[in-house]
Amino acid sequence: MTPTEVIVVGGGAIGLASAWRLAQGGLTVTVCDPAPGSQATHASAGMLAPVTEAHYGEDRLLGLNRCGAERWPAFAGELEAESGCPVGYRTCGSLLVALDADDARVLDDLAAYLDRLGLDAEPLTGSQARAVEPALAPGVRRGLRVLGDHQADNRLLAEALLAALAGRGVDVVRQAVRCIVVEDGAVAGVALGDDTVLAADRVLLAAGAWSAGIEGLPADARPPVRPVKGQILRIQGPVDEPVLAGNVRGLVRGRSLYLVPRASGRIVVGATVEEQGFDTTVTVEGIHQLLHDAAVLVPGLLDLELAEIGAGLRPGSPDNEPVVGPTTVDGLFVATGHHRNGILLTPVTADAVAGLFGVGPAVAEIAGFGPDRFTPAEAS
């Protein structure tokens, strides 16, 4: 049997896409995850929103997010062609809306910020916003139209990646990794939950919010990620007469939420941002907040079926930016910490990993996002 050249720890979108690129590069790859695609990838809304996710002072992250968005069309086409599975990539744009005067001022500030950056965003009055999305409530005060924000179906993405990996003979071991085996400062493989040891001289740690909890790593090689809880719900609307034409991001009395319509008529509504550790409890308060704010913006949602509620854990780093690159352990690389942008950054991260492993061109935009940017105290 050909020995495994690379073990990928984690089967979310980042881990699966990275494994696909590495396999395309001719490496023998094994992915370890007890339930691939079941965690943050499953809970995500799949928004590809480099512009409307832009925040003051995050110009470097904005550049990476835009790079991720630019790679999505080719990535989606290539993955669909190889896997034979759709990924639900849609170029429907986003509409940001504000409910009251205070929210409108925040939206105006964002519009001015995007204009300074040279990003395409069209300010709208409330009536103009309702012309774009007639389902919006009459009380909407202001809008901001962004055609560059798209979407993908995160669950279809995971299925397509698994199909592509199967086509390339990648072994997906459906067990958790208990420990990364390090010998003399270098990776030697991983130990699974049943204590089976898989040997490899290179490992990619892409276990999302769980990346910091894998045993066996010295403190300075442990990625400083934490879980950030997000509660989310899905509403089933009609297929033949969609409630929304595109993505809607709303500000409701200072709270942010998004509504992402699928071609199936389903509308994803999310998401809370909670520092609750590894708690994934779905709370009445969290779901009530989402339903209330969504219905304030789009009253017609109250007549539809509440199809699903749930919660996921985003991997957040100290600066809420990705952590991608080599560690202090020879042969150990990390790709985690993508926070709210995991699906958006899947193509560029996978390409960057291929470059780091020497089977693809280097991705200049990933520079500065390595784990070496944190102090020893943050890394531990």
Return per-residue pLDDT of the chain as tens, 380 residues.
Answer: 345 799 999 999 999 999 999 999 999 999 999 999 999 999 999 999 998 877 777 888 999 999 999 999 999 999 999 999 999 999 989 999 999 999 999 999 989 988 888 888 999 999 999 999 999 999 999 999 998 899 999 999 999 999 999 999 999 999 999 999 999 999 999 999 999 999 999 999 999 999 999 999 999 999 999 999 999 999 999 999 999 999 999 999 888 999 999 999 999 999 899 999 999 999 999 999 999 999 999 999 999 999 999 999 999 999 999 999 999 999 999 999 999 999 999 999 999 999 999 999 999 999 999 999 997 656 55
- DSSP labels, 173-221: E-S-EEEEEEETTEEEEEEETTS-EEE-S-EEE--GGGGGG-BT--GGG
Residue that has been written with the tokens 């199967």 in this structure:
166
- How many CB atoms within 10 Å of residue 358? 10
Cα–Cα distance measured from residue 261 to residue 148, given in angstroms and rounded to the nearest whole number: 16
Which pLDDT score, from 0 to 100, does residue 376 have? 63
Which pLDDT score, from 0 to 100, does residue 380 have? 55
Please choose, from the candidates 273, 347, 256, the residue with its C-alpha nearest in 3D space to the C-alpha of residue 312.
273
CB 48 within 8 A of CB 150: yes
Please choose, from the candidates 331, 329, 360, the residue with its C-alpha nearest in 3D space to the C-alpha of residue 347.
360
Alpha helices in the chain (DSSP H): 13-24, 40-43, 59-83, 101-116, 126-132, 154-167, 284-297, 346-356, 376-379
Q: Kindly tell me the burial class for residue 295, based on how many C-beta atoms sit within 10 Å of its own C-beta (0-12, 13-18, 19 or more).
A: middle
- DSSP labels, 97-130: EE-SHHHHHHHHHHHHHHHHTT---EEEEHHHHH
Residue that has been written with the tokens 């996978």 in this structure:
350
Which pLDDT score, from 0 to 100, does residue 379 have? 57
Tell me which amino acid residue 329 is.
V
Q: With b meaning 16 or more CB within 10 Å and e meaning fewer, what string describes 99-108?
A: beeebbeebe
| Strand-pair category, 6-9 with 29-32 | parallel
Which pLDDT score, from 0 to 100, does residue 2 have? 44
Cα–Cα distance measured from residue 119 to residue 198, given in angstroms and rounded to the nearest whole number: 47
- The token pair that represents 69 in the structure block: 């968005």
- Cite the beta strand spans of 242-322 per DSSP E: 247-252, 255-261, 266-270, 305-316
Helix 346-356 crosses helix 13-24 at what angle (to 10 degrees)?
Answer: 50
